[in-house]
Structure 1
Amino acid sequence: MNLIIKLAAGILFGILMGMFAPEVLIQFLITIKLLVSQLIKFTIPLLILFYVTSGIANLPKNSGKLLGKTVGLSYLSTLGAGLLAFTVAETLYPTLLSGAGALPEAKTVLTPFLELKIPPLMSIMTALTIAFVFGLGISNTGSEDLRRFSNQGCDIIELFLNKVIIPSLPFYIAAVFADMTVKGTVFATLQTFSLVLLAVIAMHWVWLTFQFITAGIVQQQSPLKILRTMMPAYLTAVGTMSSAATIPVTLQQTKRNGVSNTIANFVVPLCANIHMSGSVISITSVAVAVIIMTGAGPVPSLLEALPFIAMLGVTMVAAPGAPGGAVMASVGLLGSMLGFTEEMIALQIVLHLAQDSFGTACNVTGDGVIALMIDKMSSEKDEAAENLVLAEETA
């Protein structure tokens, strides 16, 4: 919540700077924005490389079908959430944000004092490919040295995010809004913020409703009862903005819904890292809003956006369980697959972080549904095996 307050303060500070400060101070802010932007672009491939490698390498061994079912259901949920979000946004946003696409032309163009280029070590796709190769290789060979290296790489990247990138975001956002104020585009942009945020949160609840109705049908229980049991996890995630920090509460409430200890202890921590339906709803719908708000061109069709949504579901495995982790992991795809500029990425970040806690809450609440479904599948399998044994004994 402190991060949200700081971002709001950054927006206000940027607008005031753009309205009243001399150009030299605004240029200084823009210079900071450029530096932070370069650091973000440099860090994202490393984040994906280490987090995806570590995530795959540390998947539980000898879990076979249980692991496959959990990963499969989580990805289907994440993909379905992304498709829902894009379909709704593509249909609703052109009307909802009808005044946001025709932003006025820039009045002035302020340049930074220094243009420092920090090229990334590799592309996003190269990082993903290496991560899958090494992650699967470590998992199969049991190489402890490489496993330790990938885990320590995660720790370093997360430290860099928490100590450098995240604290610098308010200044980054302030520079963006100062620049937009000078250009005369800031108020047209701000008018749409509340509408987009409300629409995103509404989509979270549409997807949660679908998940819990499905769980209620499968479990032959009241969906409201199952949801009510999971609400402490939802509220905890709203406060922490972190799937990882909410695991103890999610685990406790999942067990209270009747999931066996074995299934809950396996599924919930795993889903905290791979089930990102709420985050994908946020990123996908906000991306459509940003395209419309900036007048960057026509919104892609669902078929054109499908590769982005599919890759986004995979890339979310690289999202650290910390505030802002999901949108940071998606920045590379937004630039490479949707052609986002630095200004568009800045809008994406601020809009996403403004509702990040609700996206995280959607993620962890849905984890309880995944656990229920996996528990039901396992119970039916065990019951079928027992019936087969009884039938053989009777024969």
Structure 2
Amino acid sequence: MLEKLKAYRFPLILLTSIIIGALIGLFFGEDATIVQPLGDLFINLLFMIVIPLVFFSISSAIAGMDSMKRLGKIMGSMLTVFIVTGVIASVFMLVATVIFQPGSGVDIPLSAPEDIEEQTIGDQIVNTFTVPDFVDLFSRENMMALIVMSILIGVATGLSGEKGRTFGRFLTSASEVFMKLIKIIMYYAPIGLGAYFASLVGEFGAELIGDYARAVIVYYPVAILYFVIGFTLYAFLAGGKKGVSRFWKNILGSAATSLGTGSSVATIPVNLQAAERIGVPKDIRETIMPLGATIHMDGSCLSAMLKIAFIFGVFNQDFMGMDTFLTAIGICLLSGIVMSGIPGGGFTGELMIISLYGFPIEALPIITAIGVVVDPPATMVNATGDTVSSMLVSRHMDGKDWMEKADTAKI
């Protein structure tokens, strides 16, 4: 019993610090925001290391692969997992919205959004995958461009053969250094997350009321149920009972960090650490985590379906019929997988919902506001979904005994 508690020691410490922080926020109200700098310090530390961590982890993983064939298999398996889990998440929320009809009876005043910048599909593709200057890669706003460059550098290093070995060793060494840096920063996590939740609850604890309450009441339980039931099922498919045990033993740090930061990108370091402890092979986890943080969003699929159902209810439209449902699932996949990788993709996805269904542009602020209030659990599902996806890919790539192979390799 004591050994089991010891294994969960750090997650329990994190959970305790978050609960204490939330209680402080409830008790002291807005006065609790005085500790916000302590929370911001933790978040900024994560954001500071994310760019070099993503670059070195992806490029070193690809450069160290025995063959590009394995990279192709990993990418193919990853995309399959991302699409399948996205469809499941969309259907999960679809069922809930049909039953509870979150937008019915809502009366929200419409106001036109300001300064909408329109981009062609060609411009969006260019801005997603490239930047005009090398230094622009060093911004988390251009994460997809950084990932593309990291993949290309990894491939080029591997193809350089003997001449690229020295550079390859540098990439691997740098990746290990930044992984060690994560461990150092995580020692501060209990204080940082506790302070962040104290200020967050102190400032916004009593404001989730009014016209959006029904949407929130639908989304939060559904997201939590998907998180618990869906991810437990995925972990079981990936590794049986052992997979479930390891997933839940190591996922709390990622869940807490994503809730506190509101960013899948900021959770990459913690996710990499969790996947390593679970036993996900290095090349798989260091390929999937950075990519998943930008193009795998089960939580966004859940929220996109809620937005669609909500806007139908607001305008008294009938949200029924197979054509309507299939279109909604398609939009959710675009919002959760394709649009999430585009700068400002959340807004683009919302604009797409309005356009495809023919709602007036004044309806945009309605679903934008929903995105804001459901963002914390959506981000938690997005981020932790990458970890369980890496387990599923490991199962496909290395067979049912992939965790045993990882344990043997550590000895």
TM exceeds 0.5?
yes
Q: Give the structure 1 partner of residue 5 of structure 2.
A: none
Separation in 1, partners of 2:256, 2:86: 21
Q: Relative to 1, partners in 2 of residues 1:310 and 1:98: Cα closer, same or farther, differing over 3 Å?
A: closer
Mapped contact 1:308–1:333 kept (Cα < 8 A): no
Report what 1:206 is aligned to.
225
Q: Is the 8 A contact 2:285 2:390 kept in 1?
A: yes
| Equivalent AA in structure 2 for residue 349 of structure 1 | T
Report deviation, 1:65. 1.2
Between the aligned partners of 2:316 and 2:136, the Cα distance in structure 1 is 36
Q: TM-score, normalised by structure 1?
A: 0.58
Moved more, 305-314 or 230-239: 305-314
Please point out which of 292, 307, 312 is paired with 1:286: 307
Cα drift, residue 326 of structure 1: 5.0
In structure 1, what is the Cα distance between the partners aligned to 2:97 and 2:246? 30
Change (3 A) 1:229 1:302: farther
Q: Which amino acid aligns with 1:276?
A: M
CA distance in 2, matches of 1:266, 1:84: 28
Distance between the aligned counterparts of 1:285 and 1:313, measured in 2?
Answer: 13
What is the letter of the counterpart of residue 354 of structure 1? V
AA matched with 1:261: K
CA distance in 1, matches of 2:117, 2:342: 26
Aligned pair 1:347/2:345, yes or no?
Answer: no
Aligned-pair identity (%): 19
Structure 2 length-normalised TM: 0.56
Alignment partners' CA distance in 2, 1:330 and 1:70: 22
Q: Unaligned regions of 5+ residues in structure 1, if any?
A: 1-57, 139-145, 160-188, 387-395
- The residue that corresponds to 1:72 in the other structure is 80
Cα deviation for residue 225 of structure 1 reads 4.7
Amino acid at match of 2:391: L
For 1:66, the aligned partner's letter is I
Instruction: Note if contact 1:243-1:321 (Cα within 8 Å) is conserved in structure 2.
Output: no
SS of 2:118's equivalent in the other structure is coil
* Structure 1 residues 121 and 253: CA distance shift in structure 2, 3 A: closer
Secondary structure in 1 matching 2:398? helix
SS at match of 2:105: coil
Query: Residue 149 of structure 1: CA displacement?
Result: 3.8
- Residues of 2 paired with 1:245 and 1:117: CA distance? 28
* Structure 2 Cα separation of the partners of residues 214 and 202 of structure 1: 19
Q: CA offsets, 1:262-288, max 9 Å, x none?
A: 221111111111211011101211321
Distance 2:266 2:114 in 1: 36
Does the alignment pair 1:216 with 2:240? no
> How far apart, CA to CA, are the structure 2 residues paired with 1:244 and 1:118?
25
The residue that corresponds to 1:186 in the other structure is: none
Decide which moves more: 74-83 or 310-319. Answer: 310-319
Counterpart CA distance in 2 for 1:148 and 1:279 is 25
Question: Residue by residue, what CA displacement relative to the aligned partner does 1:119-169 show, whole Å, maximum 9, x if unpaired?
Answer: 7353xxx449x83xx79xx9xxxxxxx94449888989949xxxxxxxxxx
Uncovered stretches (5+) of structure 2, i.e. residues with no partner: 1-58, 63-67, 143-207, 406-411
Residue 294 (structure 2) aligns with: 273
For 2:78 and 2:307, the matched residues in 1 are separated by 28
For the Cα contact (< 8 Å) 2:331–2:353, is it kept in 1?
no
The whole-number CA distance in structure 2 between the counterparts of 1:194 and 1:99 is 12
Equivalent-residue separation in structure 1 for 2:240 and 2:300 (angstroms): 29
One-letter identity of the residue aligned with 1:353:
V
Q: What secondary structure sits across from 2:318 in the alignment?
A: coil
Report deviation, 1:300: 4.2
Query: What secondary structure, in the 3-state scheme, does the structure 2 residue paired with 1:291 have?
Result: helix
CA distance in 1, matches of 2:114, 2:219: 36
Aligned with residue 214 of structure 2, among 177, 195, 211: 195
1:246–1:364 CA contact under 8 A, matched in 2 = yes
1:279–1:326 CA contact under 8 A, matched in 2: no
Aligned to 2:317, what secondary structure does the other structure show? coil
User: Is 2:306 the counterpart of 1:298?
Assistant: no
Distance 2:89 2:347 in 1: 19
Residue 275 of structure 2 aligns to a residue whose secondary structure is helix
Alignment length (residue pairs): 270
* Cα distance, 1:371–1:151 mapped onto 2, change above 3 Å: farther
Aligned CA distance change for structure 1 residues 317 and 151 (closer, same or farther; 3 Å)? farther
* Structure-2 residue corresponding to 1:32: none
- The answer for the alignment partner of 2:252 in structure 1 is 231
Equivalent position SS for 1:220: helix
**2:269 paired residue among 215, 235, 248:** 248
User: Which amino acid letter does the alignment assign opposite residue 85 of structure 1?
Assistant: M
